[in-house]
Copies of this chain bind each other. A is one copy, B any other.
Amino acid sequence: MSSNPKQGLKVAVIGGGSSYTPELVEGFINRYNEMPIRELWLVDIEEGRHKLEIVGKLAQRMVEQAGLPIDVRLTLNRREAIEGADFVTTQMRVGLLEARRRDEHIPIKHGVIGQETTGPGGMLKALRTVPVILDICRDIEELAPNAWMLNFTNPAGIVTEAVLKHSKVKTVGLCNSPINFQKYLAKQYGVSEREVLPEFVGINHLHWITAAYVKGEDKLQEMIGGGKDYSATNVTAFDWDPDFLRSLGALPTYYLRYFYMTDTMFAEMKESLEKNGTRADVVSRVEEELFELYKDVNLKEKPKQLEKRGGAFYSEAAVNLMHSLYTDRRDIQTLNVRNGGIIDFLPEDASIEVNCVVTAQGPVPLPLQRVPEHIKGLLHAVKTYESLTIEAAVTGDRGTALQAMVHHPLVPSVSVAKTLLGEMLEANKKYLPSFFKQ
């Protein structure tokens, strides 16, 4: 890193008004000795000004309470936040929760899984988000060419691949799913997190775990045999079919349920939609409560309730990564990076989410010990959809968007794809200028 360690780092958080921000601030406080932050810039857009102020003040109280000289700045001016930054993180939602609501709702209406990061919902989120992210990249290229961009914005795999393909910004995509599994594994076997090493094969939100080393011994067969399964806390946990699991020879991660249990998941979502509204509605209520808490001037640390929000350990993952990049730590983390030849049947310039060694030069993906034959087709199918989606987002070409939608495994036919695409593009018109230019 080019920064002078004595002076400390400058970090810009795009979408700084997010309810997750206190977790990130907590992380910076805890690692201050190894990685001193000089300036922390929280950036948001006009629509987020109110939240930004609430969260920003909490952040300032947290830093003060910790007695650290971190300068927390709030701004609506993205460019001044980015200028000279060492790290830029992005955690944002183009179109706000309202757009997510539509992403979840419209597909369900047509009999298709409606989900924030995969399927037609994820696709529309990508179409809205990629142009904004690339716009931010233009600023980084100009104002902070040596900065690392850490991307948490979903769909993280697509967003990361878009940046890798269409900008010169150094970027890494991050998901909390791997760190959650690592913690789960360590807890399950009563060892420290440092003593476990799972092997992840796949792409963001389409992951299989093919080995689970605990103190050097692979416990995968044991885990598969018992039908145990790792589940994020924001969904009902339920068991995989044990015959399926044994014959798969790998542990599917949570989002694979949309593909392997499409019927059940669809039914659940539909029912839940009728009862509780979309997941967006639920999140919306949780966020309101959180911001009420954040307003309390006596609150000077991250409130427990944030953990219910669903993004557990995001901040830990992010701070871990910055720490390794900054100190050339060379530890192993599971990250979204350029494929190179790691998964040999996917394009070299695709993003994948695999174990990497993180050096000061960035994450170096590790060759995989084993890619089960079973999963290659599904993995390739979803990556095909992702790459087409990026192309559509960048060009605004409806034909490419149609191909992306048609070739998504959750979309049952060309005619459903066409209907969904038409309706969803229209509903997102405001955020998709390139699709509606004259």
Known: A263-B416, A381-B380, A413-B264. A403 touches B341 (CB 8 A): no
A421 to chain B, nearest CB (A): 10
Which chain B residues border A400 with CB–CB below 8 Å?
A: 247
Rounded to whole Å, the gap between the CB of A178 and the closest CB of chain B is 16
Task: Tell me if A109 is interfacial: C-beta within 8 Å of chain B.
Answer: no
Which residue of B has the minimal Cβ distance to A376?
B384
- Closest-by-CB residue of B relative to A383 is B377
- Interface residues in A218-255 by Cβ distance below 8 A to B read 240-241, 243-244, 246-248
- Contact A414 B374, CB 8 Å, known A247-B400, A380-B345: no
CB neighbours (8 Å) of A381 from chain B are: 377-378, 380-381, 409
* Contact mask for chain A residues 8-44; partner B; CB cutoff 8 A; 1 contact, 0 none: 0000000000000000000000000000000000000
Give the docked Cα–Cα distance between A195 and B359 (Å): 11
- In the complex, per-residue mask of A361-403: 1 if CB is within 8 Å of any chain B CB, else 0: 1001111010001111110111111011000000000111011
Chain B residues near A264: list those with CB within 8 A.
413, 415
Q: Give CA–CA (A261, B331) in the complex, Å.
A: 40
Assess the A357–B366 pair: CB atoms within 8 A.
yes
A213 beta carbon closer than 8 Å to chain B? yes
Chain B residues with CB below 8 A from A374, complex form: 384, 388, 403, 407
- Complex Cα distance A407/B256, Å? 12
A46 at interface (Cβ–Cβ under 8 A)? Answer: no
Smallest distance from the beta carbon of A273 to chain B beta carbons, Å? 19
Interface contact A241-B415, CB-CB below 8 Å: yes
How many angstroms between the C-alpha atoms of A247 and B261 in the bound complex? 30
Report how far A406 CA is from B249 CA in the complex, Å.
14
A425 at the interface (CB under 8 A from B): no
| Residue from A213, A247, A416 having most chain B Cβ neighbours under 10 A | A247
Q: Is the CB of A412 within 8 A of B263?
A: yes
Q: How far is the CB of A57 from chain B (nearest CB, A)?
A: 35
- Cβ of A77 under 8 Å from chain B: no
Which of these, B216, B360, B375, contacts A216 with CB under 8 Å? B360
Residue of B nearest to A416 (CB): B263
Question: Which of A260, A345, A381 neighbours the largest number of chain B CB atoms within 10 Å of its CB?
Answer: A381
Q: A360 to B330, Cβ gap below 8 A?
A: no
Cβ of B377 and Cβ of A328 under 8 Å apart?
no
Task: Note all chain B residues with C-beta closer than 8 A to A375.
Answer: 384, 407
Q: Decide if A418 is an interface residue (CB 8 Å cutoff).
A: yes
Contacts of A378 in B (CB 8 A): 381, 384, 407
Interface: A215 (CB within 8 A): yes
Q: In the assembly, what is the distance between CA of A347 and CA of B213, in Å?
A: 29
Do B243 and A418 have beta carbons less than 8 Å apart? yes
Q: Kindly list chain B residues whose C-beta atoms are within 8 Å of the C-beta of A406.
A: 244, 260
Contact of A399 among B247, B342, B359 (CB under 8 A): B247
In the complex, which of the residues B246, B373, B414 contacts A388, with contact meaning CB atoms closer than 8 Å?
A: B373
Contact A328 B215 (CB under 8 A): yes
- Are the C-beta atoms of A197 and B341 separated by less than 8 Å? no
Q: Which of A244, A246, A377, A384 has the most CB of B within 10 A?
A: A377
Question: Which of B332, B367, B399 touches A340 (beta carbons < 8 Å)?
Answer: B367
Q: A362 → chain B, closest Cβ, in Å?
A: 10
Instruction: Assess whether A344 is interfacial by the CB under 8 Å rule.
Output: yes
With contact pairs A246-B399, A345-B380, A380-B377 given, residues A413 and B216 touching in the complex (Cβ less than 8 Å): no
A127 to chain B, nearest CB (A): 16
Some 8 contacts from A to B, beta carbons below 8 A apart, are A197-B360, A260-B414, A261-B413, A263-B416, A330-B357, A341-B344, A366-B366, A380-B381
- What are the nearest 3 A-B pairs in CB distance? A247-B399, A216-B360, A377-B381
